[in-house]
């Protein structure tokens, strides 16, 4: 899918996704929300859960995530690009609960980009719904 796409465009999409996950891992709410369009939609497809609006639905979802866990980490990324505005990312997640126990997941997110921010995200996650 990346044939014919300039390296700079591929790199920019990958950097955008990894910048988003780095903000989530720092539990930086402002930087996390800044990755989204104001009217963004976020769906956790494996749990039929949907959030609408960066400053309402998504904000609440991320606030709960950051309260629920002592630490979150996303890494070991594999990205597939369908440019100019779509990228799918498969990755490993480590969530440390407040009691110190660790939950490991393997997820896949599908991102659609509009004007340099995420317009729509579909999440397929293993294990419990850490975003619900």
- So what's the pLDDT on residue 9? 81
Distance CA 123, CA 23 (A): 17
- Return per-residue pLDDT of the chain as tens, 132 residues: 445 567 778 889 999 999 999 999 999 999 999 999 999 999 999 999 999 999 999 999 999 999 999 999 999 999 999 878 999 999 999 999 999 999 999 999 999 999 999 999 999 999 888 887
- Number of helices followed by number of strands (H, E) in the chain: 3, 6
27 dihedral zone (left: phi>0; alpha: psi -120 to 50; beta): left
CATH assignment of 7-124, given 3.30.479.30, 3.10.450.50, 3.20.20.70, 2.40.420.20? 3.10.450.50
pTM over 0.85: yes
Residue labelled with tokens 């407040």:
98
- Domain ranges, ordered by start, for the chain: 7-124
Return all residues near 103 (Cβ < 8 A) that are at least 6 apart: 94, 95, 96, 97, 127, 128, 130
């Amino acid at each position: 899918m990346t044939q014919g796409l300039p390296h700079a465009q591929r790199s920019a999409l990958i950097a955008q996704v990894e910048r988003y996950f780095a903000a989530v891992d720092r539990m930086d709410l402002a930087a996390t929300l800044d990755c989204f369009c104001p009217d963004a939609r976020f769906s956790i497809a494996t749990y039929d859960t949907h959030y609408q609006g960066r400053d309402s639905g998504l904000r609440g979802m991320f606030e709960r995530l950051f309260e629920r866990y002592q630490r979150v980490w996303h890494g070991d990324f594999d990205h597939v690009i369908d440019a100019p505005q779509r990228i799918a990312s498969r990755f490993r997640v480590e969530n440390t609960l407040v009691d110190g126990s660790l939950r490991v997941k393997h997820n896949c997110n599908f991102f659609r980009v509009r004007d340099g921010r995420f317009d729509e995200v579909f999440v397929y996650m293993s294990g419990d719904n850490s975003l619900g």
